[in-house]
Amino acid sequence: MTPLFLVRHGPTAWNEDGRIQGHADIELSPNGRREVASWQVPPAWATARWLASPLRRARQTAALLTDQPAAIDPRLIEMDWGAWEGQRLADLRAEAPDATAANEARGLDFRPSGGESPREVTARIQGLFATLADAPGPVVAVTHKGVIRAALALATGWRMHEKAPVRLDRGDVLALTIAAGGRVTLGTPLSLAA
């Protein structure tokens, strides 16, 4: 059994502007850097193995949280939002309300134009979880909201047709336990925010 802690990266200018980032490689904003620098890392993480998404915002967050090098794992990259990257979801809903609502109602099979579905993200991270199942000690992974939502779906059976079973704010950590074969169970979320 491997404890896994999923941390969402700090805020970027696009987060602050309500823009969908996806695979766009946006760095932390000055406010985001200050926010992450204020987070308190649990002492138990001093011996943890650290992983990060290849995107700058996740790598920068990891570097602010630990002196240990974070291994880059491409399976931790954010969901690909295709043509929607750089857009605001509110604008997309206003431009095509019926089509957007119908797509969102698909839950795990929701797919932005030219992008990836949450179901595909769950398959991607399931492979990561399987490789981490036998890891010694805890693992901390700095990643993205879409990946954390996919992990929550795997741990709880949530199909993304309704509100998430757990509310996580920025600075909150999704705690999981990985068993043999990559099966994940939900732990108690914790907060890094001071």
Q: Say what the pLDDT of residue 123 is.
A: 96
- Read off the CATH number of the domain in which 106 is found: 3.40.50.1240
d(CA 22, CA 116): 10
- Split into its structural domains, the chain has a count of 1
Of 178, 193, 184, 187, whose CA–CA distance to 150 is shortest? Answer: 184
Q: What are phi and psi of 187, to 5 degrees?
A: -105, -165
Q: Say what the pLDDT of residue 1 is.
A: 87
The tokens of 95 are what?
């431009």
d(CA 10, CA 6): 13
d(CA 170, CA 35): 10
Q: Would you call 185 helix, strand, or coil by DSSP?
A: strand
Q: Which residues of the chain have pLDDT under 50?
A: none
Q: Say what the pLDDT of residue 37 is.
A: 97
Residue 8: strand pairing partners? 143
**Whole-prediction pTM:** 0.95
Domain range enclosing 53: 2-191
Output the CA angle 12-150-169, nearest 5 degrees: 45
Q: Say what the pLDDT of residue 117 is.
A: 97
Q: What is the DSSP letter of 24?
A: -
Residue 142: strand pairing partners? 7, 52
d(CA 108, CA 96): 20
CB 142, CB 154: distance < 8 Å = no
